[in-house]
Structure formats: C-alpha cells, structure tokens
Amino acid sequence: LFNFCAGPAALPEAVLQQAQTELLDWQGKGLSVMEMSHRSEEFTSVAETAEQDLRDLLNIPSNYRVLFLQGGASQQFAQIPLNFMPEDGSADYIDTGIWSAKAIEEAARFGHVNVAASAKAHDYFAIPGQNDWQLSDAASYVHYTPNETIGGLEFGWIPEVGDTPLIADMSSTILSRPLDVSKFGMIYAGAQKNIGPSGLVVVIVREDLLGAARASCPTMLDYAVAAKNGSMYNTPPTFGWYLAGLIFKWLKEQGGLEAMERINKVKQQTLYRAIDNSELYSNPINPADRSWMNVPFRLADDRLDKLFLAGAEERGLLNLKGHRSVGGMRASIYNAVTQQAVDALVAYMAEFEKQQG
Ligand code: PLP
C-alpha cells in the first residue's frame, strides 16, 4: 500500500517496526516509553538524543532553542502573538492560502495584523514577489507559510526582512531539504507530516527573542517557560517525542537532508512531469512556486473523480482525494513516501487516462 495522506501522513516503515518492537519493552528495561517518567534517566536520554539529532540534521546554531510542545501547529497561531507582539502592537503576515489565513485570523485577536502581501491577486496560484510586499516599520515580526499544504504553493526562497524576526510555519516542508535556520527568528512545525505523530509541535526559536511574552500570556504558552524547563514545564508528549527521535535517526541514516533533497526533487519532478504531459490532469500553480511535498491536481472532468479514486484504492494508492475545501486530487509525497510509490501513482494515472480515451 502507498499512503499519500496530507497528515497524519505516512511514516517510514522501518521506524514503525522499531517502535513496534520496543512498544512493550524499551531497550530491555521491561516497560514502554509511554510508561516511563519524563524525568527518568531513560527518557532524558531519549529526549536529549532527539534534540541533538534534529540539531545535527538542520545544523541549528547554538543560540537557538529547540522545544517539543503540544497543541499542534494551530496553537502556535495564538502563541506567536502572545509571545512576540506587545498588547498594542502589530505584525506583518504574508497570505498565501488557507494555512496562512488561519494564522492571520488568530493573530488578529491579539493585535493589528498588516497583511503585507497576498497571493489572492494571483488566485493563490503564485507567490507575490518580494518587491510587491508592503512590510511595516512597526511590525514585531513577519510571519509566513513556506508551504501551503492544501493549495500546493511553496516558497523556493527565504524572504529578506531586515532585522525584523522572520517566523515560519514549516509544518509540511520541514526536513524535506536543507534549511538555513539562522535566517529565522522562529520556525515551527506540527509533527504529523515529516516528524511523527500529531499533537506534537516542534519549535526552533532564537534565544534573544524569549522573555518578552505579554503579562497575560498563559504560563503553558510562554516559550521562555518551556525553554527554561527543557520543554517539561508539565508532562510532555513523551511518546511523540520518542517517535520523532526515531524519525530523526532514520533521516540521518538516509544521508541527512542533502540526501532527502535529492530524493524529493526527483519525486516531485516525476509527478509534475506526468501531470504536465497529460491531457487529463492539470496543476494550476506557477511552476516556480510548486510544492515539493503536496501536489494537488485536477481531472479535466470532475465527474471522473470518483472513478479515479476507486481505481487508485484498488491498486493500493490511498488518500488521494483533495482537501474538502478545494476538491480534485492531492498527492502528499513527504519523506516517507518513496519514489516507488510515486512511480506507481504515475503509472496508474497514465493507465486511467488511456482508459478514458
Ligand atoms: N500549518 C500547516 C501548514 C498545516 O499543514 C497544518 C496541518 O495540516 C497546520 C498548520 C495545523 O496543524 P495542526 O493540525 O497540528 O494544528
């Protein structure tokens, strides 16, 4: 079976097998990771190793803190203004689709949001060039969504925003290729795509930005508190953290993010080429702004959608239905989705097109 789900998404089989082997008896200790104190020597080593492996993979500079938090990426939409936007403050947001819109809507509950650029003018099919951005001097930070999981729009470049901290929702692109963390004030990512199980969110934040949360910020949402307590102000999501650690090890074994970049580049090229060379399938996104991880496509006649999906399922090609808000199809091809899976999909697409004459 090949799973093209957008999230919770496919995880590497080798990792799931290891987790299964260790489920009842972690490393001969006679108990599951789920049953250990988060303050035990055993779990401390799980937690520290996971952080170090992530640091190695992304080359995270030492002046950044890595936090393993709860509440998914969506909780960050509120947590970010609570920590970085003063009571009467403002922030710049870039609108490139459904996920950036959610971040904007939530931030607007806490202060003034200046939408400095929007892809709306291009029907969300292209990213507005930086020359057209209206950044404001008063902004506490600039927020953007490097990869729009639903629309399939991805930045192939990092915005230049001067001294204003740049904050990025990397939920569906993190670990797909190397990244220069030093360009960012903060990066966050819900785990359920390239990191592990849902509920966990990984935050990478520059140390000097901590400690400025509003007085009204709940303790649990203050990054400085989380950082001071090693992400253990309360009981952390231990099993998710452990599984993320297994994924980071697996990524290192694959050759790190340079290797993932090579693999992911070919995967997305294979799929976009198949779409572009067909009469039946289409993807509307500006080629330079196409997502590597989430590939939406439409059939020329949407009355064929059901038939296409049924045939795909028969062949073990699962979860290709597009997001309910946009329809059509979407193939999410995260790190755990192999070239073999993409080849099987492309072969089925060609077969289906031929059948339709
Ligand atoms: N941001 C992006 C880009 C996403 O793709 C998602 C979920 O798919 C979220 C935020 C929300 O994540 P969560 O469900 O963990 O809150």
For ligand 1, atom 14, the nearest C-alpha belongs to 72
**Cα–Cα dist 336/195, whole Å:** 10
> Is there a shared CATH topology between the 14-254 domain and the 255-355 domain?
no
Beta bridge partners of 200: 70
**Cα–Cα dist 117/280, whole Å:** 33
Q: Which amino acid is at 304?
A: L
Backbone φ and ψ of 294, nearest 5°:
-125, 115
Give the residue extent of every domain in the chain. 14-254, 255-355
- The per-residue pLDDT for 57 is 98
Q: Are the CB atoms for 81 and 110 separated by under 8 Å?
A: yes
Q: What percent of the chain has pLDDT over 90?
A: 99
For ligand 1, atom 15, the nearest C-alpha belongs to 72
- The per-residue pLDDT for 190 is 98
**Cα–Cα dist 40/38, whole Å:** 6
What is the Å distance from ligand 1's center to 77 Cα?
Answer: 10
Tokens 């492996």 -> residue: 53
Q: Is 76 annotated as a binding-site member?
A: no
Does the N-terminal peptide bond of residue 159 adopt cis geometry, omega within 30 degrees of 0? Answer: no
- What number is the average pLDDT over the span 214-221? 97
- 73 close to ligand 1 (CB < 6 Angstrom): yes
Q: For this structure, is 193 an active site residue?
A: yes
Model pLDDT for residues 70-127, shown as the tens digit of each residue:
999 999 999 999 999 999 899 999 999 999 999 999 999 999 999 999 999 999 999 9
**Cα–Cα dist 233/225, whole Å:** 7
- 169 close to ligand 1 (CB < 6 Angstrom): yes
CATH code linked to domain 255-355: 3.90.1150.10
Q: The pTM is what?
A: 0.98
Non-local (6+) Cβ contacts of 250 within 8 A are: 12, 14, 15
**Cα–Cα dist 28/191, whole Å:** 28
**Cα–Cα dist 233/235, whole Å:** 7
Pocket residue to mutate for ligand 1, from 99, 104, 294, most atoms within 8 A of Cβ: 99
Give the CA distances from residue 157 to residues 186, 273, 346, in Å, rounded to whole numbers and listed in that order: 16, 22, 28
ipTM entry: 0.99
What DSSP state is assigned to residue 322?
P
CATH topology of domain 14-254: Aspartate Aminotransferase; domain 2 (3.40.640)
- The per-residue pLDDT for 357 is 80
**Cα–Cα dist 288/268, whole Å:** 12
- 96 close to ligand 1 (CB < 6 Angstrom): no
Rounded to a whole number of angstroms, the distance between the first and last alpha carbons of the chain is 27
pLDDT at 257 over 90: yes
